Amino acid sequence: MSRRMHDYPVSDLLYGPYRYDRFDPVLIRGYLDQLVPRTFIWCWSGPSLKPMQPKPITRWNILWHPTGPLLTAWIYPPQSRLLHLPLPNPLHPDGS
């Protein structure tokens, strides 16, 4: 917090870089449009992984792996009968 004291008024210290004084739908839509599966990065980490690059500072291994089949299965999931809504009830007046 003390590093921000020269950049923001005291009333804005806690949320200074995150404050938005105006709503910009074009800016927000631009960010949301980037949240698509093709820009997705999948990262596994854990002490038991064999890393491609060792990370001595954290002592955790990080594995970057191509996500081809996994990403395809996520974008186009297999259809399951268990995940469908039931058919309308013909005996109920409004069909539900």
Residue 4 is predicted with a pLDDT of 72
Per-residue pLDDT for 95 more than 60? Answer: no
Q: Backbone dihedral region of 95: left (phi > 0), alpha (psi from -120 to 50 degrees) or beta?
A: left
Q: Which residue in the block uniquely carries the two structure tokens 């938005």? A: 20
CB atoms within 10 A of CB 5: 11
27-47 residue pLDDT tens: 999 999 988 877 777 666 666
Residue 4 CA to residue 25 CA, distance in Å, equals: 28
For the chain, the average pLDDT equals 74
Residue 26 is predicted with a pLDDT of 94
Residue 95 CA to residue 10 CA, distance in Å, equals: 59
Query: The whole model's pTM is what?
Result: 0.38
